Amino acid sequence: MPTIKDIARIAGVSHGTVSNVLNGRGNVSVKKIKLVEETAKKLGYQLNLQAKILKEGAAKTISVILPNITSEQYANLYDGLFNNLNALGYELVLYLTHDSKELEQQFIQKIAIKRDWAVIVVSCLDDASSYYQAIKIAKEKIIFVYRKPAKAKQFITLDYEKAGQDIANEMMKHQYNCIGLFSNADHLHHSHAFKKGLEDFFSQHQYLIDIHHIESMPSESTYSLAYNFFSKQQKIFDAIITMDIERAHYVRNANFFGSLERCPPIYTLANNTFSYESNFYQYHMNYGMLSQQIINLIENKAISQIENKGFSLLPDFLFHQIHKSSQKLNFLILPSPSTEAVRKLLPHFKKVSGIDVNLMVKPFDEIYHLLDNIEQHKEIDIIRIDMAGLSWFASTALKPLSELNMDLNALFAPYLPKIIDRFSYIDDIAYAIPFDPSIQMLFYRKDLFNNPLIKRAYFEKYRQHLEVPTDFVQFDQIANFFNQQQNHESPVEFGSCVTIGNAEIIASEFLLRYYAQGGQLVNQNQLSLNQSIALSTLTQFKSFIQTGQKIEATWWQESVDQFEHGRLAMLIVYMNLFTYVNHKNILPLVGYAKVPGNTTLFGGGSLGMSKYSRKNKAVKSFFDWLYSKEISEQVALLGGAMAQNTIFENQQIINSYPWLPLAKQHYVNGIRENHLGENTAIDLRYIENVIGHYLLKWIKEEYSATQVIDKINQELEQKKTLIIAKNH
């Protein structure tokens, strides 16, 4: 077997240089890195990771011990851990015990040799001492989940006692007196807490109930035990409660094959994503979100109690509260991923309400034309309006939500107030409901930014470390570095791109940089660009345009395609336009961050009711349906964007769109100047068109930077009576 000494001798470098290259550290030139890597490859050298760990101490590996990954609570837990810890640079090693104490003891001995950073375990042992005696890491880094063995130092679980109480409350509401309970073994912490919640609630309310409890031990066949609920000796149950969806399926199967009686309603704990199951009443637990709290423990961050999501509202709310109607609603909307998601779900709304919804999908320009002449289009009932045009059209095209008795605070609490303010209210009147709010974000190829050879090449060229840019000076420099015309060894064609086929898009590219330098459109109640800031922005922008890929397209989709196909190192785009990439192979390579300069533009829009529509009840029913937690989640799962806090608590959604939590934090930095002052609306779309129109001429070198700023300001001044309206 070749050794480091062999590589050093053949490559003609020192032993230390080879060690630094192979271990990804040290101040080694690009030339020597390539030489060492090529030599190691030719000799077939493989780094002894075990020896490296023993030499350097604890590795950033984490062992995860679970009974199985077929149960959804464990599958969701591992899925959340893998996605989040992997993004933080940890490597996970999974062990499955199948609830065998002997197997778990064997795994403990294997883990003891590795010297992990942390151990996460759902244990079947009675005592935690085996872990502390064998694994020599801090006791706080051995985290027991769901099940709490004796002497466990660090333990975390969900609120199973509250789940038991809530389900007991449902039993009382329906006046059920004879119930079955199918749970894990009672000595397990979470199972005991669940049963305690049930029994204590009944006892506190002095409610007489007969509970037939079947608990399954690890050594028993859970499926076979389900048949015991339907033996001849048993009473007919009013309802059966199960601790997980697997047991619920077992009970339904046992009834189908082993009973002549109709299956009673089954109340079951389930993950926090709604899925339709006949005769199942799902109580949603945040299995996936528990992983984030575990990660906080590992990273020494504060943790908080995770609230249970509780029962789905779909069976009761949608099937019993929506007034059945034969009306038809016309919904004016842009083509987008959110539009297609809503289209897929409309049959459900028809089924539960009797109301047909006709999607009038129109391009951006045509929607604005229709809004300008809304009095001639009284057939329109619901309008998706871009936030840039909300202040301009609110009072002329939309009906105040007060006429629908919509309570936005109740609907979105605890959602960020700024979203409601910017996407709903004009002069303290709520005209619209946030639908698909979006902000610009920076997406980048983290595999390139973490590549030691690329990082060293960048350092040699600029004497700076390659890091995710936090301002546009850094962004433009990195974009230049990855341009193959400037750097023939770049693994991608361009560092980034700029879309120049549409005036509004180029205005957006400019304004992002302009705001980052402290610029504003509204200056002392006047509309104009700040001369010095705009000139500085154009100078910076021109340098980027010369090295970035120029895309002659009328929308951002082509930019996203270029990034997805591996031609760009970085991309700044509205996050809702990036959602379709979640199914692509590139997603594991994608990093995400705030935009350079930390001042991002708002995008997306809201839903309002046309002031000429008379279908208040039908529109209210549609809004109640669309903004229910369950339907909002379905829209997000289908690739749409929805302004509901519930999507940030759904691990399946977060796994598909991992940038959402960062975007939520970044909303506070959003900007889009769509009003001049109190009771004064501006036609922001027209303004952005003016800016983009002259910028395109500047790109074609028809005007100098100074001339283009003057032209923009002159036109804004000349047209101010058309683009500014008091009490519009």
Q: Write down the pLDDT at residue 386.
A: 92
pLDDT of residue 637: 85
| Same domain as 266, residue 149 | no
Number of compact structural domains in the chain: 5
Query: Do 138 and 222 fall into the same domain?
Result: no
Q: Is 11 exposed, middle or buried (0-12, 13-18, 19+ CB in 10 A)?
A: buried
C-alpha to C-alpha distance for 617 and 260, rounded to whole angstroms: 44
CA angle 624-630-635, nearest 5°?
A: 90
Owning domain of residue 643: 329-437+604-649
Query: Which three-class secondary structure state does DSSP give residue 157?
Result: coil
Same domain, yes or no, for 485 and 570?
A: yes
- Structural tokens at position 136: 């020599």
Rounded CA separation 544/472 (Å):
9
Q: Do residues 558 and 677 both lie within one domain?
A: yes
pLDDT at 20: 79
Q: Which pair of structure tokens corresponds to residue 271?
A: 């993950």
Q: Are residues 179 and 275 in the same domain?
A: yes
- Whole-number pLDDT of residue 324: 59
Where does the pLDDT of residue 167 fall: very low under 50, low under 70, confident under 90, or very high at 90 and above?
very high
Secondary structure of 562-608 in HEC code, one letter for each residue: HHHCCCECEEEEEHHHCHHHHHCCCHHHEEEECCCCCCEEEECEEEE
The CATH number of residue 355's host domain is 3.40.190.10
User: CA-to-CA distance for 436 and 336, rounded, in angstroms?
Assistant: 10
CATH of the domain at 130: 3.40.50.2300
Angle subtended by helix axes 15-22 and 4-11, to nearest 10: 110
Domain identity same for 127 and 187:
no
**DSSP codes, 507-540:** HHHHHHHHHHTT--SEETTEE---HHHHHHHHHH
- Non-local (6+) Cβ contacts of 131 within 8 A are 108, 119, 121, 142
Q: What is the mean pLDDT of residues 468-495?
A: 95
| Contact in structure between 390 and 426 (CB atoms under 8 Å) | yes
Question: Same domain, yes or no, for 502 and 636?
Answer: no
Give the separation between CA 438 and CA 206, rounded to whole angstroms: 51
* Cis-peptide into 661, omega within 30 deg: no
pLDDT digits (tens, 9 = 90+) for 61-106: 999 999 998 888 899 899 889 888 887 888 899 999 999 999 999 9
Among 251, 285, 319, which residue terminates a domain?
A: 285
pLDDT at 665: 83
pLDDT digits 0-9 by tens, 399-447: 999 999 887 776 665 556 678 888 888 888 999 999 998 899 999 999 9
pTM: 0.79
**Model pLDDT, residue 109:** 93
Q: Can you state the percent helix, strand and coil of the chain, rounding each to 5?
A: 50, 20, 35
Q: Residue type at 514?
A: Y
Residue 459 lies in a domain: yes
Positive/negative CA dihedral, 685, 686, 687, 688: positive
Distance, in Å, from the CA atom of 67 to the CA atom of 71, rounded to the nearest integer, reads 9
> Would you state the torsion angle of the CA atoms of residues 670, 676, 679, 685, taken in this order, to the nearest 10 degrees?
-70
Looking at the structure, tell me whether residues 569 and 706 fall in a common domain: yes
CATH number where 19 lies: 1.10.260.40
Half-sphere exposure of 21 (CA within 13 A, CB side): 28
* Secondary structure (3-state) at 179: strand
Eight-state DSSP code of residue 181: E
Give pLDDT, residue 413. 57
* Statement to judge: residues 571 and 702 lie in one domain: yes
Mean pLDDT of 253-276: 89
Average pLDDT estimate for 38-60: 62
Q: 35: pLDDT confidence band, cut at 50, 70 and 90?
A: confident
Asked whether residue 130 falls in the same domain as residue 277, the answer is no
Calpha distance 135→100 (Å, rounded): 19
- Tell whether 497 is covered by a domain: yes
Name the phi and psi angles at 608, rounded to 5.
Answer: -135, 170
Whether 279 contacts 249, CB under 8 Å: no
